[in-house]
A and B are shown apart, each in its own frame.
Chain A
Amino acid sequence: MKIIVNGQPQQAEKNTSIVALLQTLSLNPRQLVIELNRQILTSEEIANIKLQADDQLEIIHFVGGG
Protein backbone atom coordinates (compact mmCIF):
# COMPACT_ATOMS: atom_id res chain seq x y z
CA MET A 1 0.00 0.00 0.00
CA LYS A 2 1.04 3.58 -0.51
CA ILE A 3 1.73 5.91 2.41
CA ILE A 4 3.29 9.35 2.53
CA VAL A 5 6.38 9.75 4.70
CA ASN A 6 7.77 13.25 5.11
CA GLY A 7 5.97 14.32 1.98
CA GLN A 8 7.29 11.43 -0.16
CA PRO A 9 5.28 8.43 -1.34
CA GLN A 10 6.51 5.15 0.14
CA GLN A 11 5.39 1.56 -0.15
CA ALA A 12 4.61 -0.27 3.07
CA GLU A 13 3.15 -3.69 3.85
CA LYS A 14 -0.42 -3.65 5.03
CA ASN A 15 -0.72 -3.59 8.83
CA THR A 16 2.88 -2.49 9.26
CA SER A 17 3.34 -0.87 12.64
CA ILE A 18 4.99 2.52 12.82
CA VAL A 19 7.81 1.01 14.88
CA ALA A 20 8.47 -1.55 12.16
CA LEU A 21 8.54 1.14 9.51
CA LEU A 22 11.04 3.15 11.57
CA GLN A 23 13.20 0.05 11.90
CA THR A 24 13.28 -0.48 8.16
CA LEU A 25 14.35 3.15 7.82
CA SER A 26 17.05 2.61 10.51
CA LEU A 27 15.50 5.23 12.76
CA ASN A 28 15.36 5.18 16.55
CA PRO A 29 11.93 6.34 17.72
CA ARG A 30 13.32 7.69 20.98
CA GLN A 31 15.03 10.57 19.17
CA LEU A 32 12.04 11.47 17.05
CA VAL A 33 8.64 13.03 17.13
CA ILE A 34 6.03 11.42 14.93
CA GLU A 35 2.87 12.90 13.53
CA LEU A 36 0.28 10.67 11.90
CA ASN A 37 -2.28 12.54 9.83
CA ARG A 38 -1.44 15.71 11.76
CA GLN A 39 -1.85 14.08 15.19
CA ILE A 40 1.22 13.87 17.41
CA LEU A 41 1.74 10.32 18.62
CA THR A 42 2.76 9.16 22.07
CA SER A 43 5.42 6.46 22.35
CA GLU A 44 2.65 4.00 23.16
CA GLU A 45 0.81 4.94 19.99
CA ILE A 46 4.03 4.65 17.97
CA ALA A 47 4.42 1.11 19.31
CA ASN A 48 0.84 0.04 18.69
CA ILE A 49 -0.66 1.85 15.72
CA LYS A 50 -0.73 0.01 12.39
CA LEU A 51 -0.46 2.04 9.23
CA GLN A 52 -3.35 2.34 6.78
CA ALA A 53 -3.22 3.14 3.08
CA ASP A 54 -2.72 6.85 2.34
CA ASP A 55 -1.62 7.61 5.90
CA GLN A 56 0.54 10.69 6.12
CA LEU A 57 3.44 10.31 8.47
CA GLU A 58 5.81 13.06 9.55
CA ILE A 59 9.08 11.94 11.13
CA ILE A 60 10.71 14.91 12.79
CA HIS A 61 13.87 15.49 14.79
CA PHE A 62 15.96 18.27 16.26
CA VAL A 63 18.60 19.96 14.17
CA GLY A 64 20.86 22.91 14.79
CA GLY A 65 19.06 26.24 14.72
CA GLY A 66 19.24 29.75 16.04
Chain B
Amino acid sequence: MDHLKIADRLFHSRLLVGTGKFSSNAAMQGAMEASGCEIVTVALRRVDINNPQDSLLHHIDRSRYLLLPNTSGARDAEEAVRLARLARAAGCDPWVKLEVTPDPYYLLPDPVETLKAAIILVKEGFQVLPYMPADPVLARHLEEAGTVTLMPLGAPIGTNRGLRTRDLIAIIIEQAGIPVVVDAGLGAPSHAAEAMEMGADAVLVNTALADTPDPARMARAFKLGVEAGRMAYLAGLGPQRIKAEASSPLTGFLREE
Protein backbone atom coordinates (compact mmCIF):
# COMPACT_ATOMS: atom_id res chain seq x y z
CA MET B 1 0.00 0.00 0.00
CA ASP B 2 1.11 3.54 -0.74
CA HIS B 3 1.05 5.31 2.60
CA LEU B 4 2.17 8.73 3.70
CA LYS B 5 4.39 8.37 6.75
CA ILE B 6 4.93 11.41 8.95
CA ALA B 7 6.99 10.83 12.08
CA ASP B 8 5.75 7.42 13.22
CA ARG B 9 2.24 7.68 11.82
CA LEU B 10 0.84 6.29 8.60
CA PHE B 11 -1.86 8.04 6.59
CA HIS B 12 -3.82 6.85 3.58
CA SER B 13 -4.71 10.34 2.40
CA ARG B 14 -2.16 12.73 0.96
CA LEU B 15 -4.48 15.70 1.21
CA LEU B 16 -4.38 17.80 4.38
CA VAL B 17 -7.23 20.22 4.88
CA GLY B 18 -7.39 23.57 6.66
CA THR B 19 -10.54 24.49 8.56
CA GLY B 20 -10.47 28.27 8.14
CA LYS B 21 -12.86 30.58 6.32
CA PHE B 22 -15.71 28.13 5.71
CA SER B 23 -19.14 29.74 5.62
CA SER B 24 -20.43 27.30 8.25
CA ASN B 25 -19.34 24.33 10.31
CA ALA B 26 -21.50 22.14 8.09
CA ALA B 27 -19.65 23.36 5.00
CA MET B 28 -16.34 22.61 6.70
CA GLN B 29 -17.49 19.14 7.68
CA GLY B 30 -18.74 18.45 4.16
CA ALA B 31 -15.38 19.41 2.71
CA MET B 32 -13.45 17.33 5.25
CA GLU B 33 -15.60 14.31 4.54
CA ALA B 34 -15.41 14.62 0.75
CA SER B 35 -11.67 15.26 0.78
CA GLY B 36 -10.92 11.96 2.48
CA CYS B 37 -8.37 13.81 4.60
CA GLU B 38 -7.04 12.47 7.88
CA ILE B 39 -5.21 15.59 9.09
CA VAL B 40 -6.93 18.94 9.64
CA THR B 41 -5.31 22.16 10.73
CA VAL B 42 -6.81 24.50 13.32
CA ALA B 43 -5.73 27.81 14.83
CA LEU B 44 -5.69 29.18 18.38
CA ARG B 45 -7.23 32.53 19.20
CA ARG B 46 -8.56 34.48 22.13
CA VAL B 47 -12.17 33.71 23.00
CA ASP B 48 -14.44 36.66 22.30
CA ILE B 49 -15.65 36.98 25.86
CA ASN B 50 -18.50 39.27 24.87
CA ASN B 51 -19.78 36.79 22.32
CA PRO B 52 -18.59 33.24 23.08
CA GLN B 53 -19.03 30.86 20.15
CA ASP B 54 -19.69 27.16 20.02
CA SER B 55 -16.39 25.25 20.21
CA LEU B 56 -14.94 24.26 16.84
CA LEU B 57 -13.94 20.94 18.38
CA HIS B 58 -17.61 19.96 18.60
CA HIS B 59 -17.57 19.77 14.83
CA ILE B 60 -14.39 17.72 14.32
CA ASP B 61 -14.40 14.00 15.08
CA ARG B 62 -11.01 13.57 16.68
CA SER B 63 -11.14 9.79 16.47
CA ARG B 64 -11.11 10.25 12.72
CA TYR B 65 -8.98 13.32 12.11
CA LEU B 66 -5.60 14.22 13.55
CA LEU B 67 -5.86 17.77 14.78
CA LEU B 68 -2.85 19.74 13.63
CA PRO B 69 -2.79 23.09 15.44
CA ASN B 70 -0.97 25.85 13.63
CA THR B 71 0.89 28.80 15.11
CA SER B 72 -0.72 31.29 12.76
CA GLY B 73 -0.56 34.83 14.00
CA ALA B 74 2.92 34.33 15.42
CA ARG B 75 5.29 37.09 14.34
CA ASP B 76 8.44 35.56 15.80
CA ALA B 77 9.79 32.33 17.27
CA GLU B 78 8.76 33.21 20.81
CA GLU B 79 5.12 33.72 19.87
CA ALA B 80 5.12 30.51 17.82
CA VAL B 81 6.54 28.47 20.70
CA ARG B 82 3.93 29.95 23.04
CA LEU B 83 1.10 28.96 20.70
CA ALA B 84 2.48 25.45 20.24
CA ARG B 85 2.65 24.96 24.00
CA LEU B 86 -0.92 26.23 24.38
CA ALA B 87 -2.13 23.77 21.77
CA ARG B 88 -0.44 20.91 23.57
CA ALA B 89 -1.94 22.08 26.86
CA ALA B 90 -5.36 21.93 25.19
CA GLY B 91 -4.92 18.19 24.94
CA CYS B 92 -3.68 17.90 21.36
CA ASP B 93 -1.05 15.41 20.31
CA PRO B 94 2.27 17.26 20.27
CA TRP B 95 2.06 17.94 16.56
CA VAL B 96 2.30 21.49 15.33
CA LYS B 97 2.19 23.23 11.99
CA LEU B 98 4.80 25.88 12.63
CA GLU B 99 3.93 29.21 11.01
CA VAL B 100 5.81 32.44 11.62
CA THR B 101 4.53 35.19 9.36
CA PRO B 102 5.53 38.68 10.49
CA ASP B 103 4.53 40.35 7.22
CA PRO B 104 0.76 40.85 7.15
CA TYR B 105 0.57 41.70 3.45
CA TYR B 106 2.04 38.61 1.82
CA LEU B 107 2.07 36.42 4.96
CA LEU B 108 5.42 35.04 3.91
CA PRO B 109 7.11 32.78 6.45
CA ASP B 110 10.13 34.22 8.25
CA PRO B 111 12.96 31.74 7.62
CA VAL B 112 15.14 32.80 10.56
CA GLU B 113 12.38 32.78 13.16
CA THR B 114 10.86 29.58 11.74
CA LEU B 115 14.17 27.74 12.12
CA LYS B 116 14.67 29.16 15.63
CA ALA B 117 11.22 28.02 16.72
CA ALA B 118 11.67 24.62 15.06
CA ILE B 119 14.86 23.96 17.05
CA ILE B 120 13.11 24.83 20.33
CA LEU B 121 9.95 22.85 19.60
CA VAL B 122 11.80 19.72 18.45
CA LYS B 123 13.76 19.81 21.73
CA GLU B 124 10.46 20.04 23.61
CA GLY B 125 9.22 16.87 21.94
CA PHE B 126 6.94 18.34 19.29
CA GLN B 127 6.50 16.83 15.85
CA VAL B 128 7.12 19.98 13.85
CA LEU B 129 5.65 20.54 10.39
CA PRO B 130 7.07 23.90 9.29
CA TYR B 131 5.43 26.21 6.78
CA MET B 132 8.41 27.63 4.94
CA PRO B 133 9.59 29.61 1.96
CA ALA B 134 10.46 27.30 -0.93
CA ASP B 135 14.15 27.55 -0.10
CA PRO B 136 16.18 24.35 -0.47
CA VAL B 137 18.92 25.62 1.87
CA LEU B 138 16.43 26.38 4.63
CA ALA B 139 14.83 22.99 3.98
CA ARG B 140 18.14 21.31 4.83
CA HIS B 141 18.49 23.32 8.02
CA LEU B 142 14.95 22.44 9.11
CA GLU B 143 15.45 18.76 8.37
CA GLU B 144 18.70 18.80 10.35
CA ALA B 145 16.83 20.47 13.21
CA GLY B 146 14.54 17.44 13.31
CA THR B 147 11.29 18.60 11.73
CA VAL B 148 9.09 15.77 10.47
CA THR B 149 8.04 17.41 7.19
CA LEU B 150 8.88 20.37 5.03
CA MET B 151 5.95 22.54 3.96
CA PRO B 152 7.11 24.90 1.23
CA LEU B 153 4.64 27.39 -0.16
CA GLY B 154 3.43 27.19 -3.74
CA ALA B 155 2.29 30.81 -3.61
CA PRO B 156 1.34 33.14 -0.75
CA ILE B 157 -1.46 31.91 1.54
CA GLY B 158 -4.94 32.25 0.11
CA THR B 159 -3.85 33.45 -3.32
CA ASN B 160 -4.98 30.40 -5.34
CA ARG B 161 -2.12 31.02 -7.78
CA GLY B 162 -0.63 27.53 -7.88
CA LEU B 163 2.95 26.35 -7.96
CA ARG B 164 4.76 29.63 -8.54
CA THR B 165 7.78 28.18 -6.76
CA ARG B 166 7.82 25.03 -8.83
CA ASP B 167 11.54 24.84 -9.63
CA LEU B 168 12.59 25.39 -6.02
CA ILE B 169 10.06 22.85 -4.75
CA ALA B 170 11.54 20.34 -7.21
CA ILE B 171 14.97 20.85 -5.59
CA ILE B 172 13.50 20.52 -2.10
CA ILE B 173 11.80 17.26 -3.10
CA GLU B 174 15.01 15.96 -4.65
CA GLN B 175 17.02 16.66 -1.50
CA ALA B 176 14.53 15.89 1.27
CA GLY B 177 14.69 12.81 3.44
CA ILE B 178 11.37 13.69 5.08
CA PRO B 179 7.95 14.21 3.49
CA VAL B 180 7.41 17.39 1.49
CA VAL B 181 3.90 18.80 1.89
CA VAL B 182 3.20 21.65 -0.50
CA ASP B 183 1.22 24.19 1.46
CA ALA B 184 -0.38 27.47 0.52
CA GLY B 185 -1.46 28.96 -2.76
CA LEU B 186 -2.90 25.82 -4.38
CA GLY B 187 -6.13 27.05 -5.91
CA ALA B 188 -7.21 24.25 -8.23
CA PRO B 189 -7.07 20.46 -8.31
CA SER B 190 -4.67 20.75 -11.25
CA HIS B 191 -2.24 22.61 -8.97
CA ALA B 192 -2.44 19.80 -6.42
CA ALA B 193 -1.99 17.20 -9.16
CA GLU B 194 1.03 19.08 -10.48
CA ALA B 195 2.68 19.08 -7.05
CA MET B 196 2.03 15.38 -6.64
CA GLU B 197 3.28 14.56 -10.14
CA MET B 198 6.54 16.26 -9.19
CA GLY B 199 6.90 13.90 -6.27
CA ALA B 200 5.53 15.95 -3.39
CA ASP B 201 4.38 13.60 -0.64
CA ALA B 202 1.21 15.54 0.15
CA VAL B 203 -0.49 18.91 -0.17
CA LEU B 204 -2.41 21.12 2.23
CA VAL B 205 -5.41 23.07 0.96
CA ASN B 206 -7.77 25.45 2.72
CA THR B 207 -8.83 28.58 0.85
CA ALA B 208 -9.61 26.76 -2.40
CA LEU B 209 -12.10 24.57 -0.52
CA ALA B 210 -13.61 27.28 1.65
CA ASP B 211 -13.90 29.96 -0.99
CA THR B 212 -16.24 28.22 -3.42
CA PRO B 213 -20.02 27.83 -3.48
CA ASP B 214 -19.65 24.04 -3.21
CA PRO B 215 -16.86 23.10 -0.77
CA ALA B 216 -17.70 19.39 -0.70
CA ARG B 217 -17.56 19.06 -4.47
CA MET B 218 -14.33 21.03 -4.63
CA ALA B 219 -12.85 18.87 -1.87
CA ARG B 220 -13.68 15.76 -3.88
CA ALA B 221 -12.08 17.34 -6.93
CA PHE B 222 -8.90 18.00 -4.94
CA LYS B 223 -8.94 14.45 -3.62
CA LEU B 224 -9.04 13.14 -7.18
CA GLY B 225 -6.36 15.62 -8.26
CA VAL B 226 -4.04 14.49 -5.49
CA GLU B 227 -4.68 10.82 -6.26
CA ALA B 228 -4.18 11.34 -10.00
CA GLY B 229 -0.94 13.21 -9.46
CA ARG B 230 0.37 10.63 -7.04
CA MET B 231 -0.51 7.78 -9.37
CA ALA B 232 1.22 9.50 -12.28
CA TYR B 233 4.31 10.06 -10.16
CA LEU B 234 4.41 6.39 -9.17
CA ALA B 235 3.83 5.30 -12.76
CA GLY B 236 6.61 7.58 -13.98
CA LEU B 237 6.03 10.49 -16.33
CA GLY B 238 7.54 10.35 -19.80
CA PRO B 239 10.43 12.67 -20.61
CA GLN B 240 9.74 16.12 -22.04
CA ARG B 241 11.18 16.97 -25.47
CA ILE B 242 11.37 19.93 -27.78
CA LYS B 243 11.15 17.93 -31.00
CA ALA B 244 7.94 16.09 -31.86
CA GLU B 245 7.91 12.34 -31.58
CA ALA B 246 5.06 10.77 -33.53
CA SER B 247 2.67 8.50 -31.71
CA SER B 248 1.38 6.98 -34.96
CA PRO B 249 3.58 4.94 -37.30
CA LEU B 250 5.70 6.97 -39.72
CA THR B 251 5.26 4.38 -42.46
CA GLY B 252 2.41 3.27 -44.70
CA PHE B 253 1.10 6.75 -45.50
CA LEU B 254 -1.58 6.95 -48.21
CA ARG B 255 0.69 8.81 -50.59
CA GLU B 256 3.75 8.19 -52.70
CA GLU B 257 7.02 8.93 -50.95
Among candidates B28, B52, B89, residue contacting A64 with C-beta atoms closer than 8 Å: B28
Check B86 against A31 for contact (C-beta < 8 Å). no
**Pairwise interchain contact B52-A27, C-beta atoms closer than 8 A:** yes
Contact between chains at B90 and A62 (CB < 8 Å): yes
Given contacts A6-B46, A25-B49, A31 and B72 within 8 Å (CB-CB) = no
Q: Does B42 sit at the interface, judged by CB under 8 A? A: yes
Query: Given the complex, which residues of B lie within 8 Å of A40, measured CB to CB?
Result: 85-86, 89
B42 contacts A62, C-beta separation under 8 Å:
yes
CA distance A33 to B70 in the complex (A): 15
21 contacts between A and B (CB under 8 A): A6-B46, A6-B47, A6-B49, A27-B47, A27-B52, A31-B55, A40-B89, A58-B46, A59-B46, A60-B45, A60-B47, A60-B86, A61-B55, A63-B20, A63-B42, A64-B21, A65-B70, A65-B206, A66-B72, A66-B157, A66-B184
- Not counting A64-B22, A66-B70, a sample of 6 additional A-B residue pairs whose C-beta atoms are within 8 angstroms of each other reads A7-B46, A32-B90, A40-B86, A60-B44, A65-B41, A66-B157
Contact of B204 with A by CB under 8 A: yes
Given A33-B90, A60-B86, A61-B56, A66:B49 Cβ within 8 A: no
Asked if B36 CB lies within 8 Å of chain A CBs, one says no
| Nearest B-chain residue to A38, judged by Cβ | B82
Contact with B along A47-64 (1 / 0, CB 8 A): 000000000001111111
When the two chains form the complex, which single residue of A8, A28, A58, A65 contacts B19, counting CB atoms closer than 8 Å?
A65
- Measuring CB to CB, which residues of chain B are less than 8 angstroms from any residue of chain A? 18-22, 28, 41-47, 49, 52, 55-57, 67, 69-70, 72, 85-87, 89-90, 157-158, 184, 204, 206-207
State whether A65 and B49 are in contact (beta carbons under 8 Å apart), knowing that A31-B55, A33-B90 are contacts in the complex.
no
A8 to B42, CA, bound (A): 25
Bound Cα distance A33, B89 (Å): 7
Tell me the minimal C-beta distance from B76 to chain A in angstroms: 15
Residue of B22, B46, B67, B207 with highest tally of chain A CB at under 10 A: B46
B19 touches A66 (CB 8 A): yes
Contact A63 B45 (CB under 8 A): yes
